[in-house]
Amino acid sequence: MDAYGSEAAVKDNTPTPSGRLDPRQNPAASPALDPAEDTDEPAFDWMKPAPAARAAEEEGAAGPAAAQPESRADRKAAEAAAAEGAGSNRTEAGGDAAAGQDAATDRKTEFRQPSPAGSSSMGTHYSEPLPTSALQVRPPQEEVERRNAEREQAARAKPVLPRFLQVLLAIFYPVILLVLAVRAVTSPLFLWVEYHRPGFPGDGYGFNADDRMTYGSYAVDYLSNWSGPRYLGELVNRSGEKLFKDGEVSHMADVKLVFLSAFGAGALLILISIIAIIYLRRRTPGGVRRGLFAGSIVTLVLIIGLGTLAALGWQQFFTEFHRIFFAAGSWTFALEDTLIRLFPGQFWIDAGLVIAALVLITAVVTLILTWPTRRRRGLAPARKGRKGKDVDGDAEGSDVKDDAGTDEAPRTGNVRPVNL
C-alpha cells in the first residue's frame, strides 16, 4: 500500500503473503501475538497499583492455586477472609487518598503564601496584599497625636474673610455715621431751626431772620450741587452790591470740595458695608451683629474723645480742624463779611453739638440692639443656681462662639485621640 496515494483498506480476509506464517493459524509461531499468552501487567510503571494493593492481588491470585478448599464450608470461610482483606485494602487506600488530599492542601497553602522579602525561589508565588490591608495596621502613637493636633487646629481655625469684613464694618461704621450727621446739619431745615431758635445771636449789620434764611440757603445748596463759583459770586444784596467777596467765594469752593469728597467717600463706604452685610448674613450668621457691635463701641470712643477735646478748648479745636483741611489765611474773615454774619460762632457750636448728639444716639441704639445676649446668640435662657451658675454646672459666659455663629460646648478634660 502506498503511504501517500493509496487509500485501499486492509481487511481481515486479505491473503497473507507467501513465506510468512499466519499468526491466526499458528499461534506458536508468534508467541508475542498469542492472545492466550497476554498478561494483565501494565505497560507503564505509573499504571501499576500501590505495593500493598499489588501484594493483596498477588496473594488473592495465588491463594486458589496454592490450596483449594476441599469442602463447601472451607470455601465460604476463604471467601469471607478474602472479603475482609479487600475491605482493609479499601480502608488503607482511603487513608492514602485523604493523606494525599491533605498534602495537596498543604502545597496549595504554601503556594499561596507570599515569599519573604529578598527571596528569589521559583517554587513559591508572591501575591500582592489587599487594598484594605493597610487599614489593619495602626500607625505609631506619635503619628496619631500629630494628626489629632492638626485636626484640632483645623477645627479651631476661623475663616479670614468673615473676620476681615467684620473689622471693615466696625471701622466704616463711625465714619458713615459722621458723614450722615454732617449731611443732616448742612440742610435748610437745620438753618431754619437755628435762625428761629431762642437765644441765637442776631446780625448787627442789618440781616434779619428772613435775609439769613435766604442767603444762607444759597450757601448750603452750593455745597451739595455741581455748580461753579459763579453760583455764589454773582449773588447781590438789596442794595445791588455783591453778596460774597472773592475770598469768601474761594473759601466756599474749598469747603465744597471737602464736603463732596466726604460725601463720596461716605457713599463708597456705605456700598462696601452693604456688600459686607449681605455676605455675612448669608455665610456667617451673627457676623453683622458682631461687626456693628464693635463699630458702635469704636464710635462711642471717638465721639467721647472728640467731645472732650472740644469741651476743653472749643476755639483751639475749631482752629486745628480748619488747619487740617484748608490753607492758612484762607478761612479767616472780618466780622462784617457775609459768611460771618450768616454763620457766626454760635452756629458752629450748635452744629458740633447736633453732629455729636446724632452720632452718639445712633451708636448707643446700635450698641443696645447688637448686645450679645443669650437669645441673640441662639442660646437657651440659663437657669441660675445659688452661686450664679447654670443648673448643668457651667459658669455664665462659658459658651464659646465661633465665627460661623454656632456655639461650641466648653471642652473639659483631655481630648481622646482618634484611632486611624
Q: What is the DSSP annotation of 344-388?
A: -HHHHHHHHHHHHHHHHHHHHHHHHHT---TTTTTPPPP-B-TTS
Q: Which of 55, 86, 81 is nearest to 67 (CA)?
A: 81
- The distance in angstroms from the start CA to the end CA of the chain is 84
Interior angle at CA 275, CA 271 and CA 277, nearest 5? 115
pLDDT tens per residue, range 157-195 = 778 888 999 999 999 999 999 999 999 999 999 999 999
Rounded to an integer, what distance in angstroms lies between the CA atom of residue 22 and that of residue 178? 139
Confidence of residue 155 (pLDDT cuts 50, 70, 90): confident
Q: Flag the least confident range among 94-108, 183-197, 307-321, 395-409.
A: 395-409
Rounded to an integer, what distance in angstroms lies between the CA atom of residue 363 and that of residue 306? 15
pLDDT tens per residue, range 278-332 = 999 988 888 899 999 999 999 999 999 999 999 999 999 999 999 999 988 888 8
Instruction: Tell me the pTM.
Output: 0.57
Q: What are the Cα distances from residue 126, in Å, to 29, 30, 111, 130? A: 63, 59, 9, 13
Q: For residue 197, how far is the Cα from the chain centroid?
A: 62
Interior angle at CA 349, CA 348 and CA 350, nearest 5? 90
pLDDT tens per residue, range 324-353 = 999 888 888 999 999 999 999 999 999 999
Q: Which of 349, 238, 362, 249 is nearest to 300 (CA)?
A: 362
Please count the residues of the chain: 420
Rounded to an integer, what distance in angstroms lies between the CA atom of residue 201 and that of residue 210? 14
Average pLDDT, the chain: 74
Confidence of residue 119 (pLDDT cuts 50, 70, 90): very low
Domain boundaries, the chain: 162-371
The CA dihedral of 264, 265, 271, 272, to the nearest 10 degrees, is 160
Residue 300: the pLDDT is 96
Q: Which of 316, 324, 319, 186 is nearest to 256 (CA)?
A: 186
Residues ≥6 apart with Cβ < 8 Å to 273? 168, 169, 172, 173, 176
Q: Flag the least confident range among 84-93, 217-226, 367-376.
A: 84-93
Are residues 249 and 324 in contact, defined by beta-carbon separation less than 8 angstroms?
no
Confidence of residue 51 (pLDDT cuts 50, 70, 90): low
Q: What is the mean pLDDT of residues 143-162?
A: 82
Residue 60: the pLDDT is 54
Number of C-beta neighbours around residue 211 at 10 A: 16
Are residues 403 and 158 in contact, defined by beta-carbon separation less than 8 angstroms?
yes
**Most confident range, picked from 28-37, 222-231, 390-399:** 222-231
Percent of the chain at pLDDT exceeding 90? 41
φ/ψ (deg, to 5) at 227: -80, 160
Q: For residue 143, how far is the Cα from the chain centroid?
A: 23
Are residues 113 and 124 in contact, defined by beta-carbon separation less than 8 angstroms?
yes
Give the cell for residue 369: 440692639
| Residue 414, helix vs strand vs coil | coil
pLDDT tens per residue, range 126-145 = 566 666 555 566 778 888 88
Amino acid identity of residue 374, one-letter, is R
Q: Which of 253, 220, 222, 245 is nearest to 326 (CA)?
A: 253
H helices present in 68-207, as ranges? 72-112, 141-156, 160-185, 188-196
Conformation bin of residue 396: beta by default, left when phi > 0, alpha when psi is -120 to 50: beta
389 has pLDDT over 60:
no
222/128: higher pLDDT:
222
Are residues 255 and 223 in contact, defined by beta-carbon separation less than 8 angstroms?
yes
Rounded to an integer, what distance in angstroms lies between the CA atom of residue 302 and that of residue 293? 15
